[in-house]
A and B are shown apart, each in its own frame.
Chain A
Amino acid sequence: MILNLGLALLGTAVGIIFGAIPGMTATMAVAVFLPMTYAFQLVPALYLLLGLYVGGISGGLIPAILINVPGTPSSVCTGFDGYPMARRGESERALKVGITASFLGGMISLIVLALLTPPLAKMAIKFSAIEKFLIILFAMTVIAALSKGSMTKGVFSGFLGVLLSLVGELSMNNKMRMVPSFLSDELRSGFQLLPLLIGLFAICQMFQEAEKGMQSNNLDEGVTVEGAKKFSFSDFKGQTVNVIRSSLLGTFMGILPGVGGSAASLIAYSQTKSFSKHPELMGKGAPEGLIASESSNNGLTGGALVPLLSLGIPGDATTAVLIGAFLLQGIQVGPLFIGQHPDIWNQILLALFACNILMFIVMFFPIKLISQVVKVRSARMYPVILLMCIVGAYATRSGVMFDVWCLLLFGIVGYVMNKIGLPTAPFLIGFILGGDLEKYFIEAVKGNN
């Protein structure tokens, strides 16, 4: 238990750093640290990865408030009110309001996760191959439709991911497809998930930041963490409905596959503005806007785990990466997961609970120290991240250099996809679900015949 809590603390602290550096995301944090989990069993690995997830989502509020640049896409609305608060000398108050809202959002989503996942999984056990095929297809359509950019491009990207997942040998007849003869050994089991996802989310980001010149962030003049107006829990007076509504909105947005934290944050913010007694103050430094944004994006964390653990469908890009941890341990997530592994299911709930509490402790009390994280220069972080990525890719199949080349290849693929407006999240989710999609399709058609 001490090891688990230690890993959760490490994950949360590192996740906050990743979240607080603009350009680095929770997804990237989980992807980069996934190789570390080779050394652990699933439960300690999940404590680490969920810590990174919760910390990564929460850390995004720091630069959003202090420099008006969201650290992660899910903090996009946090700066609307957080930054004006910081400008008028209320940085500490804004940060603490955001952290408390994040904590509450995380806890509410945890309750929904605990209550909703078992009945959903129970229902999904009864599904036949046709229904499973249709659910995956439906999930992919939703992912694509709600991904940024045009819907057609999202669907296209998802199907490209499916196509890529089909490379290699089909176990049903042991025949290879889409593999050039000179790569028949390396690609017998297809492209590996880990190099693909690290390439798409870490290496691609490194190229993007290199293109921008690895700029560093500085606090604006007049913005200091110490301020005249201090935080008090009475800031949440009259905000109960806002917290619950925004957290639940975030959670249910998380349940819909592929929606992402930015959409959850935007919807919760606009809802709060509609119901606000003083909508004219929103965007000018009203704590209720900050509360809406932060409680909704942390609400997403539990929500995104619901389809993952009940149906085997990742709710967002980060949970898609989490699948990697389960696959490494040979555990299939899906309708049978809770029934077959009740101990792991309970540990996931406990881990999420612990990570939210740790996130609150790590961010709330040493706020002045934590806020310095925005000054960490990405120019110094990326080379070390690259090192971790290389280790992760190489160790995927215990020492295949081809996987390291794939890391570079998918880094370039992700970079080009971003340039031409093809979203990468549907591509990754298509790649993860492609194998199952084919399996259920064949089973469904054969059954019908």
Chain B
Amino acid sequence: MQQFLKEWLKIRNMHLFFPYLIASICALLFVVILIQRAIKCKKDGTPFINFKNYHFFKPGYDKVKLWGSLVLFILYIIALPELHFAWASVIFIFLFNVLFDMKPGKLFDIKSILISAVIAFVGSWGVWYLFYQVFNITLP
């Protein structure tokens, strides 16, 4: 054992020993979780893999808001280096506000859109001013 550790902890191998050790522990724990699940399923008389009754998302989840927020987030990150931080933020924070405040059957609520625009404009320029001008923090 000592020889084995000595060999592994030679300077050229040192960086690999601990990741291998932790990865092995993770693999072992994963197997234990599977075994525990198998035992539980056997006890309860339920199938080990039950795709029919498995719901990753909540039943009736808000598809538009969840997937919309993910797509907007990706587009926002892409747009940040292309546009000025504050302008990219005004556009996307406005879109996030509209998306999150959207009510079924009432897509174009003028009051809500106006509030979204104000929050997006004030929020984006406010954050830009606070962090870039006051705190001197690098922004995209």
Show the binding face of A for B, using Cβ within 8 Å. 35-36, 38-39, 150, 152-153, 155-156, 159-160, 162-163, 166, 169-170, 172-173, 175-178, 203, 206-207, 210-214, 377-380, 382-384, 386-388, 390-391, 394-395, 398-399, 401, 404-405, 408, 411-412, 419, 434, 437-438, 441-442, 445-446, 448-449
Cα–Cα distance between A212 and B69 once the two chains are bound (Å): 12
The smallest beta-carbon distance between B1 and chain A, in angstroms, is: 10
User: In the bound complex, do residue B119 and residue A210 qualify as a contact, i.e. CB atoms below 8 Å apart?
Assistant: no
Evaluate contact between B100 and A383: CB separation under 8 angstroms.
yes
Within the complex, which residue of B26, B66, B96 is in contact with A160, where a contact is CB–CB below 8 Å?
A: B26
Q: How far is the CB of B34 from chain A (nearest CB, A)?
A: 10
Partner of B100, one of A38, A214, A434, A437: A214
Nearest opposing residue in chain A for B32, CB measure: A152
Q: A38-B135, A391-B127, A445-B5 are in contact. Are A386 and B36 (CB under 8 A)?
A: no
A384's nearest neighbour on chain B, judged by CB, is B123
Which residues of B are found within 8 Å of A448, using beta-carbon distances? 2
Contact check, B19 vs A380: say whether CB atoms are below 8 A apart.
no
Pick the 3 closest A-B CB pairs, nearest first. Answer: A39-B135, A213-B62, A379-B100
Smallest CB gap from B122: residue in A: A384
Give CA–CA (A181, B134) in the complex, Å. Answer: 38
Q: How far is the CB of B104 from chain A (nearest CB, A)?
A: 9
A256→B69 CA distance, assembly (Å): 37
| Interface residue B48 (Cβ < 8 Å from any Cβ of A) | no
C-alpha gap A448/B101 in the complex (Å)? 62
A441 touches B18 (CB 8 A): yes
CB distance from A389 to the nearest CB of B (A): 10
Q: Which residues of B contact A162 (CB under 8 A)?
A: 22
Picked from B14, B101, B124, the residue with its CB within 8 Å of the CB of A380 is B101
**CB-defined interface of B41-67 with A at 8 Å, one 1/0 digit per residue?**
000000000000000111001100110
Assembled-state Cα–Cα distance A438/B17 (Å) = 9
Q: What is the chain A residue whose CB lies nearest that of B136?
A: A39
Q: What residues on B are CB-neighbors of A391 within 8 Å?
A: 127, 131, 137, 139
Partner of B101, one of A214, A387, A395, A398: A214
Considering only CB atoms, which chain A residue lies closest to B21 in the complex? Answer: A441
B9 within 8 A of A: yes
A383 touches B26 (CB 8 A): no
Kindly supply a per-residue 1/0 record for chain B positions 86-110, scoring 1 wherever the CB is within 8 Å of any chain A CB and 0 otherwise: 0001000100110011000000000
Q: Complex Cα distance A394/B2, Å?
A: 45
Give B30 Cβ to nearest chain A Cβ, in Å. 7
- Report B's interface with A, CB cutoff 8 A: 2, 5-6, 9, 11-12, 14-19, 22-23, 25-26, 29-30, 32-33, 36, 56-58, 61-62, 65-66, 68-70, 73-74, 76-77, 80-81, 89, 93, 96-97, 100-101, 115, 119-120, 123-124, 127, 131, 134-140
User: Which A residues lie within 8 Å of B33 (CB)?
Assistant: 150, 152-153, 156
Contact present for A159 and B5 (CB under 8 Å): no
18 A-B residue contacts at CB 8 Å?
Answer: A36-B135, A152-B29, A177-B19, A211-B58, A211-B65, A214-B62, A377-B101, A380-B100, A382-B100, A383-B97, A383-B123, A391-B131, A391-B139, A394-B139, A401-B81, A411-B73, A419-B56, A442-B9
Contacting residues, chain B, for A170 (C-beta < 8 A): 14-15
Given contacts A152-B33, A178-B19, A441-B18, contact A386 B96 (CB under 8 A): yes
Cα–Cα, bound, A390→B74 (Å):
12
Residue of B nearest to A162 (CB): B22
B residues less than 8 Å from A203 (CB atoms): 73
> Shortest beta-carbon distance, B8 to chain A, in Å?
9
- Contact call A177/B16, Cβ cutoff below 8 A: yes
B12–chain A nearest beta-carbon distance, Å: 7
Interchain CB contact under 8 A, B119 and A380: yes
Contact of B97 among A35, A38, A379, A438 (CB under 8 A): A379
Chain B residues with CB under 8 A of A395: 131, 137-139
Given A210-B65, A211-B62, A212-B62, A445-B9 contact (CB < 8 Å): yes
Looking at A35, A394, A437, the one whose CB has the most chain B CB atoms below 10 A away is A394
A38-B135, A401-B80 as given contacts; A408 in contact with B15, CB under 8 Å: no
Is B96 a contact partner of A382 (Cβ separation < 8 A)?
yes
Q: A170-B15, A380-B119 are in contact. Are A210 and B26 (CB under 8 A)?
A: no
Q: Known interface pairs A152-B36, A390-B80. Does A401 touch B140 (Cβ–Cβ under 8 Å)?
A: yes
